[in-house]
Structure 1
């Protein structure tokens, strides 16, 4: 499994360019003698690959489950040279490792190998590998839920210690604001100009950003505009987002941000166009829901102490849950994801295989 994980990591797969990793996954499935299918979502979501679905034969009752991981990573900013040091896998290339989410890919494939090798009884296991998760869960949203036999799902896409069960994730909205002013020579006739950048800056200064409250966050991630240092900027674009576990709070905050953009534009004699998009919808589990019960049983069987928390980010679980499939996110030991310090313990890869096999057993009994 470690060799497979290293091979996955050293194969770059930024969103939209998942084909090499998808081919590595399907080649591994072929070597295991497993049938798989790739859907046609690639062209629709802007990827050179589609979602890959594999179903393990030999169902013997119980509750069918699907394990899901995504094939893409955030774009690497340098070479990926995974190394094993002191029991941890890191990248010696000065950029991301890609454990998010290739650690889960490796665990799923190794679990399949062990189930087949031991003819382990199960209640139905499906493996789903998605594309373009990092840019809005696009592959999971494009996936046809009707293809699944599973009644519950699990993703391993939370950076944290193994044993952490994510009971809920937020809803998220993106806000794009396009400010329009009037160009003028900044040295000869600045009075004739209307600075779109000034309007955008005023708006950003008035926004409540960061952790707005215990359940809500907001951020401005991009601002771009202007043509040259000596031209009063006619255009400026701001990309922002808001997330919350409380839908009413999210709606109110987004409206507050839109209003701030409009007010700042009026103060600067500019205009602004805003566009709000739903990125994904949140969900919340209870302790007695079946996916939580199965995860708790599996973790306990492995000698781990289950804990529960809420996530501040989205995952494929959001999309599958919105499609009507209860899908739970479990922490898998990843650390410092999306940074050059990203790493994971080799022991945690093995532990997650044990947890997955325990999930298989718990689902067979459910």
Structure 2
């Protein structure tokens, strides 16, 4: 199969993860793709390929060089985001894209236009893939999965490409922040890694947000609503006032970009007696997380002061940290990637990720891991699309990259 054929096959398997689940993986359906990938890797001749009970796929491409080369891992995640349906994905291949607006057939109100997505201009005359209008496509991150699988297939068929030991890793639950929760790093046995979870052709990412989560629990005072005068303190109303007190023109995802951090209310639930607000806190400067959290706490305390009989708990949970703090200690990882990009005719575009990847957690677990491009665009939405050219170039870049590492061995 070509990388495009692999991709279009994989996206039709529903692997949406669930942030409210406490199981590993968060949805059992993710294992369907994991098991398929393991069987395909076995068919390629990778004897140790397997999917474990938690939905992780491990496999090894043995070294074919006499040089001593660090063990490199390539990683992508099998799950798709909870933000948009991933059920019954119908991928559509548009051959020789002509630059016109693309009206998605299952919902004509969904239109992918060059005005909204200028990167489409780079794909005129080439093939692109979209969903049908009712679901996301799943390029995040099945594009990365297909590209790594195509790399494995290429290397097993072309022994003339010299390389050290290569580890393949596919993870579940990246989209819900649990992509490394049950990962066995000792079994993986890699020295360095790269995730394939990036966007435009030529992008290279070694910097992410640092991230915390905050849960505010508001305890009101319940009373029968018919006899509640001077008794009832409604926790839902207090929660609403806290949300209303957040700044309207700053400090939020919808008002920030670049290196600006934000505080984002993500989930609210409760009853009149008790309500919870869940927030995500993001900043590229880890020290600023505490500043944001104190500001949020002050806003909540100011609201609560108007309700002396209500109480509040304010809980902070660390989520992940900016991988640049680790990767700056291993500059050769980025240097080797830059060389591989250049060998396939690409210039490196470095940009920070306004989010996180498995690479963030892996780096702090002891496996330094920047992020490579896949070509994915408009992720987590019904407008998600990807260019065949970008996926093919990603595979060529990976083949070049394993060669660069082999040449640097001794």
Q: Tell me if both proteins adopt one fold, taking TM over 0.5 as the criterion.
A: yes
TM-score (norm 2): 0.80
Map 1:94-109; keep pairs closer than 5 Å: 94-109=134-149
Map 1:235-246; keep pairs closer than 5 Å: 235-246=274-285
Q: CA deviation at 1:288?
A: 7.5
> In structure 1, how many angstroms separate the alpha carbons of the residues matched to 2:147 and 2:181?
23
Per-residue deviation, residues 229-279 of structure 1 (Å, max 9, x unmatched): xxxx22221110101111211112122223332332232231112221111
> In structure 2, how many angstroms separate the alpha carbons of the residues matched to 1:254 and 1:41?
37
Question: Given that residues 35 and 51 in structure 2 are in contact (C-alpha distance below 8 angstroms), is that contact kept between their aligned partners in structure 1?
Answer: no
> In structure 1, how many angstroms separate the alpha carbons of the residues matched to 2:317 and 2:257?
20
* Map of 1:229 onto structure 2: none
> In structure 2, how many angstroms separate the alpha carbons of the residues matched to 1:39 and 1:278?
29
Question: Given that residues 373 and 394 in structure 2 are in contact (C-alpha distance below 8 angstroms), is that contact kept between their aligned partners in structure 1?
Answer: no
User: Which has the higher mean CA deviation after the structures are superposed, 110-119 or 184-193?
Assistant: 184-193
Moved over 4 A (4+): 37-41, 185-188
Q: CA deviation at 1:109?
A: 0.7
Residues 1:302 and 1:148: Cα distance change in structure 2 (over 3 Å):
same
* Map of 1:331 onto structure 2: 373
Residue number among 292, 295, 298 corresponding to 2:337 in the alignment: 295
Residue number among 3, 13, 20 corresponding to 2:32 in the alignment: 20
Higher strand proportion: 1
> In structure 1, how many angstroms separate the alpha carbons of the residues matched to 2:186 and 2:202?
31
* Map of 1:82 onto structure 2: 91
Task: Indicate yes or no: 2:1 matched with 1:11.
Answer: no
TM-score (norm 1): 0.90
Per-residue deviation, residues 73-99 of structure 1 (Å, max 9, x unmatched): 113525211111231111115111111
Residue number among 177, 195, 202 corresponding to 1:155 in the alignment: 195
Q: CA deviation at 1:290?
A: 1.2
Residues 1:261 and 1:250: Cα distance change in structure 2 (over 3 Å):
same
* Map of 1:30 onto structure 2: 42
* Map of 1:220 onto structure 2: 265
> In structure 1, how many angstroms separate the alpha carbons of the residues matched to 2:303 and 2:261?
23
Per-residue deviation, residues 26-71 of structure 1 (Å, max 9, x unmatched): 12112101123557562xxxxxx2x111010234233321100011
Residues 1:212 and 1:188: Cα distance change in structure 2 (over 3 Å):
farther
Task: Indicate yes or no: 2:387 matched with 1:362.
Answer: no
Aligned length: 351
> In structure 2, how many angstroms separate the alpha carbons of the residues matched to 1:341 and 1:93?
7
* Map of 1:164 onto structure 2: 203
Report the secondary structure of 1:140's partner residue: coil
Question: Given that residues 39 and 49 in structure 2 are in contact (C-alpha distance below 8 angstroms), is that contact kept between their aligned partners in structure 1?
Answer: no
Report the secondary structure of 2:155's partner residue: helix
